[in-house]
Amino acid sequence: MELPRVVRQYDVFLSFRGEDTRKGIVSHLHRAFLAKGIDKIFKDDKTLEIGDSISEEIKESIHNSKFAVVVISKNYASSTWCLDELQMIMELHKEKQLTAVPIFYNVVPSDVRHQRGTFALERYECSRTMLLFSSKKRARAAKIRKWREGLREVAGTSGKDLSTCKDEATMVADIVGQISKQLSSMEPLDFSDIVGMKVHMERLNPLLSIESEDEVRMIGIWGMGGIGKTTIAKCLYEEYSGQFPHYCFIENVRNAAKNGLPYLQKKLLSNIRGKKQETLWSVEKGCSCIKSKFKDKIFLVLDDVDNVDQLRALAKNTGWFGPGSRIIITTRDFGLLYSFGVSLLYHVSFLDANDAIQVFKQVAFEGGQAPSDVYQQFSIRASRLAQGLPSALEAFGTYLRRITWIDGWEKALGILETVPHQSIMNILQTSYEGLDEQEKAAFLHVACLFNGNSVQRVNALIDDGDIRTKALEAKSLIDISPDGCITMHVLIEQAARAIVRKESGSMPWRQRILWKADRIISVLQRNTGTTTSEGVALHMCDMLHTLSIEGNVLNAINNLKFFKAFTHLNDIESKLKFLPGKDMLPNTLRLLHWDSYPMTTLPPKYYPHCLVELNLRYSNLVRLWDGTLGLSQLRRLDVTGSKNLTEIPDLSSATLLKELIMRGCTGLEQTPESIGSLSCLQKLDLSNCDGLTNLQIHITEKTVLGEPGLRRRRQIILRLPRAVKKKLSSLENLSIEGQIYIRLWHLRGNAEHLSYISEEQIPKEYMVIPKERLPFITSFYDLKSLSIKRFSYIADCTPFNCISFSRFPCLAELNLINLNIQRIPDDIGLLQSLEKLDLSGNDFRNLPTSMKNLSKLKYAKLSNCSQLETLPELTDLHTLKLSGCSNLESLLELTEAVQDVGRFRLLELELDNSKIVQPLADQLSHFTNLIHLDLSNHDFEAIPESIIDLLSLGTLCLNNCKKLKSVEELPQSLKHLYAHGCNSLENINLSPNHSIKHLDLSHCFRLQQDEQLITRFLKAKYSQEISQRFVCLPGTGVPRFFDNQSHGTSTKTSLPPIRFTPTLLGFAACIVISCERSFNLQFPTFSYDWNCEADEVIRINLKPNLNLSSMIEEEETVTSHHLVIIHVPSSINTEKIEELRLESDLHLPEELQFPHGEIRACGIRMIDDDYSN
């Protein structure tokens, strides 16, 4: 990708030997340039050539010049400064970053080339004293080599030789004219070469408002390091600076400020005035000079500012600059802009996926196009890792461009996914070093422990959390999503973890935070934890074996604040245990998260006075602790799924507790009375607590009344006296199940589940209207989600009374399920915030026409509403589920206003077991955006012809269409086709280029074993979007296509090893399954998986859905066979493989003793280059 030309502060840099030429030709050149209007000239009139090396100011000036005029006079080589200047100029000239124009002033160019006479460099050879120090000798020799190279190159560069010119004046005029012409012909920047730059410029133009001449504008451009702020600023500078009499671009203010603020001020003044500025002895003097010099308008860019003092020194306020001036500030720190009062802000966001992959390919490939599909996939992988960060895309592209073989790319990407690239590490290290010590600690804690967590949770866990997370967000190191979760860019997380490892010298026991299972196990086994360790995050799924430890192992880490031993699988045994009688925990813990905690109670000598969160899901706990503990910091207690837990202890000391989650604690018989005193409680979850017989708590005016006398398997009684209005006044979330009678204003009746979620903030439209004008504003106005349901639909059950929704104006989600509601009130159309609606299992015949006003409604589920006849006009829906609406006459009410095809935005439509009266094909033609369509349990013989026109359709369900005989004309976009139980199906026509990756034809017995269908399915053109294919269909034997086969009867089987070949790309496997008794075998999308263990064993796990069928008499014995074929064209890591073998497992539900299932045979075909061709 071509980047914009580097912004140059000087048009011309003059390099000369002062004592030879300052008062002669150099002064003539300077005057001639000024006469031509070229006033940005660097001419060092006063710097004394002292020391061995040129100053940083000279180096920066050379780098920031477009041309360098080198006046080579008799004594030029007698100055090491001149030689250093020449070396740097010629290096930049060679790299085409500036143009060198030599003038041979009374010297012979061949003497310069061959270093004769005054250009001989032997005088700089090492002295005898220096010979004693080999390092100095080598350094001096290297420097002389570079000087010689510079002299040779300048002698061969096109320039002017005074001896061949008419006279000095003519030579000066020629040089100045040539440079002036080249400067005026330099083309402006073409934004089209920079991906995404046009959009940035369009968004920034209104902020700049260049046409406004009567005001000074400061614009802040902020974002993460490496996201392109400097590039955007350079583009703005190139585009607009020519319209201003004065312009200046100060690059990398952060680094330049290390030389002091007066240095920055001097840099600004000298760049604007085109000559060196007198020494500034103080910041105050510099401020005074800037205010007095800039009366005209200026275009000023201050790039990469990281301290507000830098802004105060360079642009303290807009009054310093003339009307019409524009000051652009780029920074990583939003807080800096806010504190300085910059109100015109532009946040640079990440590139989207398409732009990101385009940037990567422009850098990585000649011509910007991937040479093959394999490299296209590598490009996708690299751009996903970069997550839209331009500097990372360029760094990855440059790094990978040098690699010319596929395996090399694979290895390099593997490295980039685990170790941060050095250039990215440098950018992010700069951000890290700009944090104070407390911010650094918070940054590392978030990166290693809490990325993706709720910001409220993190704020409670870390020191001064609210302040620290706001600082990290302001400095572009984290983002906080609209729903309040912290997100950190993957490369920042990667760099943070590298910093932790580097700080510890790569010694695990010294790491501040441990997250790798092998390192944690090493520290725990050897008892090498130190006071350095603050956090442990152990993913127990990464542990190969159970580890038993002594309690003092954790106790020895006496600064341990965060301990997580977690798993993504529920209700499994913990792989981390205490030795018997050795359970101890450090009292410094703020977070204790231990899934499947193995002990029956917390250690007796554990005093959780620092504990903020206790998470012991699926534990073996019988009780938490004895007596009353000091829990003054506890904010969250989660014992989900702890089935042996019989009681929750006194929580009266947990005055800050916000979340109490006891879901699935089936042994729990009662809750402590102290719950009623928890004034901060916001979430209480008692779902599936089957053992609860009596619950007495107080919940202000949100009325949920118990009704005695109703007998069920369990009964939960809620008693809520209205007199108690202060207790649990913060309760925002409630989930409760049992036999309850509900009275929520105009919603009344029996139900088995009630849950709600309240808004944290009241929407503005309800805050500004006086209460007397909103009579419906009551204690329910802040509910954003409300769910009332019975667990199953029972015909002729007492209807739930739904009279009005006027008391729930803020609802975004409403679920009224299996309540036998006979009428939905018209005022449902007033729920302007409603996004999700589930009215399944009710008895109404129609829905109010006012629902057409619900412009935000995207999801509607009306399953099993068997009395429903018509639907209102709902053009904005994305998802509509009408399963079991057997009385529905028409899909949607199509008025003249909505007859145009494409008006509907529906993406997902479920019509299984819904007998639409009007022709289905005509109905479907209005939903051209569909991606998911379910037509299961219909009685058509062929699918509707209009399906071929659904060009975005990805999933089609035709399960149990008993009369369906043929499937033809499927859209090319289709990825999933489910036709289970279509027992009349005889033919399915797949096109040669089909995109189907999951095909379920189980129990389509008229198909039998269709070799042609299998061949068409497997031989379809491979697409990188389809990483694997799956098909299940009736069949009894492994087809001949699979050349390695094995036979037997077991729920597990394997094949002998297969020799590895270097051309191996993937595999196709076939497994024959037989089942006995009456059953239905079905393979949904997630009913199988495979992995390549240690790159030697391909293991396939099959987990079909099995249901007993009522179609076969119990005494009958029926055996059915199915083929399961899994096709993985390219996924195996072939490095170091000598042989492969296939193993397959069949997993059936434990609760089903029958049907009996077995694997009868299996086969595999390895895919290599010959196969793919």
Q: Which two tokens stand for residue 761?
A: 């903030």
Neighbour-count burial of 129, counting CB atoms closer than 10 A to its CB (0-12 exposed, 13-18 middle, 19+ buried): exposed
Point out which residues pair with 1000 in neighbouring strands.
978, 1032
Average pLDDT on 190-194 reads: 67
Residue 780: pLDDT above 70? no
Predicted pLDDT at 708: 37
Predicted pLDDT at 37: 81
Predicted pLDDT at 711: 30
Residue 759: pLDDT above 60? yes
Q: Spot the catalytic one: 85, 153, 238, 813.
A: 85
State how far the Cα of 69 lies from the Cα of 21, in Å rounded to an integer.
Answer: 13
Torsion angle of the four alpha carbons 1013, 1019, 1023, 1024, in this order, in degrees rounded to the nearest 10: 110
pTM listed for this prediction: 0.57
Predicted pLDDT at 105: 92
Predicted pLDDT at 489: 92
Q: How far from the centroid of its chain's Cα atoms is residue 961's Cα? A: 41
Predicted pLDDT at 1169: 61
| Of 90-104, 524-538, 569-583, the least confident | 569-583
Chain mean pLDDT for the chain:
81
The DSSP result for 371-434, as a single string, is SSHHHHHHHHHHHHHHTT-HHHHHHHHHHHHT--SHHHHHHHHHHHTTS--HHHHHHHHHHHHT
Secondary structure of 644-696 in HEC code, one letter for each residue: CCCECCCCCCCCCCCEEECCCCCCCCECCHHHHHCCCCCEEECCCCCCCCCCC
Residue among 270, 316, 320, 312 at smallest CA distance from 295: 320
Amino acid at 658: K
Predicted pLDDT at 823: 96
Backbone φ, ψ for residue 537 (5° rounding): -130, 95
Q: Which residue has the higher pLDDT, 646 or 903?
A: 646
* Per-residue pLDDT tens over the stretch 816-873: 999 999 999 999 999 999 999 999 999 999 999 999 999 999 999 999 999 999 899 8
Residue among 469, 448, 474 at smallest CA distance from 458: 469
Residue 757: pLDDT above 50? yes
Point out which residues pair with 956 in neighbouring strands.
933, 977
Q: For 756-845, where are the alpha helices, taking DSSP H only?
A: 764-767
| Of 118-122, 493-497, 698-702, 851-855, the least confident | 698-702
**305-338 as b/e, with b when 16 or more CB fall inside 10 Å?**
bbbbebbebbbeeeebbeebbbbbbbbbbbebbe
Neighbour-count burial of 979, counting CB atoms closer than 10 A to its CB (0-12 exposed, 13-18 middle, 19+ buried): buried
Predicted pLDDT at 1121: 85
Distance of CA 786 to CAs 664, 819, 1054, Å?
21, 14, 52
Residue 225: pLDDT above 70? yes
* Per-residue pLDDT tens over the stretch 2-18: 333 445 778 899 999 98
Residue 472: pLDDT above 90? yes
Residue among 543, 586, 535, 541 at smallest CA distance from 564: 535
| Of 280-284, 309-313, 594-598, 634-638, the least confident | 280-284
Helix (H, G, I), strand (E, B) or coil at 346: strand
Helix (H, G, I), strand (E, B) or coil at 231: helix
Residue 656: pLDDT above 80? yes
* Per-residue pLDDT tens over the stretch 1024-1034: 556 678 899 88
Contacts of 782 (CB under 8 A, 6+ apart): 758, 759, 762, 810
* Per-residue pLDDT tens over the stretch 1041-1082: 787 787 766 555 565 666 656 666 677 888 888 876 555 667
Specify the DSSP element, H or E, that contains 879: strand 879-881
Residue 749: pLDDT above 50? yes
Residue 723: pLDDT above 50? no
Q: Which residue has the higher pLDDT, 1027 or 288?
A: 288
DSSP code at position 367: G
Predicted pLDDT at 954: 93
Q: Is the peptide bond before 1039 cis (omega within 30 degrees of 0)?
A: no
Predicted pLDDT at 864: 95
Contact 217, 343 (CB under 8 A): no
Average pLDDT on 110-138 reads: 73
Contact 1172, 1065 (CB under 8 A): yes
State how far the Cα of 880 lies from the Cα of 859, in Å rounded to an integer.
Answer: 6
Pairing of strands 1058-1059, 1139-1146: antiparallel
Contacts of 740 (CB under 8 A, 6+ apart): 704, 706, 707, 716, 717, 718, 750, 751, 752, 754
Q: How far from the centroid of its chain's Cα atoms is residue 42's Cα? A: 47
| Of 289-303, 778-792, 1083-1097, the least confident | 1083-1097
pLDDT class of 1009 with cuts at 50, 70, 90: low
Point out which residues pair with 743 in neighbouring strands.
748
pLDDT class of 675 with cuts at 50, 70, 90: confident
* Per-residue pLDDT tens over the stretch 1092-1133: 665 566 777 777 776 655 444 444 445 778 888 888 766 555
Instruction: Note if 85 is an active site residue.
Output: yes
* Per-residue pLDDT tens over the stretch 37-55: 888 899 876 554 444 567 8
Residue among 732, 750, 728 at smallest CA distance from 741: 750
Q: Which residue has the higher pLDDT, 600 or 900?
A: 600
Average pLDDT on 111-126 reads: 84
pLDDT class of 1154 with cuts at 50, 70, 90: very low
Predicted pLDDT at 715: 32
Contacts of 1153 (CB under 8 A, 6+ apart): none
State how far the Cα of 1097 lies from the Cα of 1055, in Å rounded to an integer.
Answer: 10
Average pLDDT on 974-992 reads: 90
State how far the Cα of 843 lies from the Cα of 859, in Å rounded to an integer.
Answer: 20
Average pLDDT on 611-637 reads: 90
Residue 223: pLDDT above 50? yes
DSSP code at position 126: P
Contact 599, 578 (CB under 8 A): yes
Predicted pLDDT at 719: 33
**Please, what are the domains in the chain?**
10-185 (3.40.50.10140), 191-347 (3.40.50.300), 353-418 (no CATH), 424-503 (1.10.10), 599-603+611-692 (3.80.10.10), 990-1172 (no CATH)
Predicted pLDDT at 703: 31
